[in-house]
Amino acid sequence: MPATTAKTIYTANAHLTRQAIEVYDQATDTFVPLTGGVFTVSFATSSSGAGPISGLQALPMAAVAGAPGSYYAVIQAATLAPLATLAGTTVYQIVQGGPYNALRDITPMMVSAERYAQ
């Protein structure tokens, strides 16, 4: 299993989730951007999706204009409020969707207090 470094999510700042989605194309034997997909982002205390965090489930993602296969969601600080009690722990950002809801990407996120300008 590859080692993964957790990204930081700040509870008092908005959070941008952006994901590039590619699928295998047998005809060309390459991976190509998936366009026209429907994706959501959720947060849980387990990478399997167990321990869903209330208020942070199935948030819709939009396609990035001019970037085929890229999807994003801006999650406002008020929506991230349930994470405040989890400061110092790892939660999992789960992007899911595509054909039969079968595509899934999981990113570990270290919960932290707000980040100040430097």
Check residue 1 and give its pLDDT. Answer: 45
Q: In the structure, what pLDDT confidence band is assigned to residue 116 with cuts at 50, 70 and 90?
A: low
The string of pLDDT tens digits covering residues 49-85 is: 999 999 999 999 999 999 999 999 999 999 999 999 9
Nearest residue to 35 (alpha-carbon basis) of 84, 80, 69, 63: 69
Q: Give which of 89, 108, 8 is closest to 48, Cα–Cα.
A: 108
Longest dimension (CA), the chain: 50
What does the pLDDT look like over 1-42, one tens digit per residue?
455 688 999 998 899 999 999 999 999 999 999 999 999 999
pTM metric for this prediction: 0.88
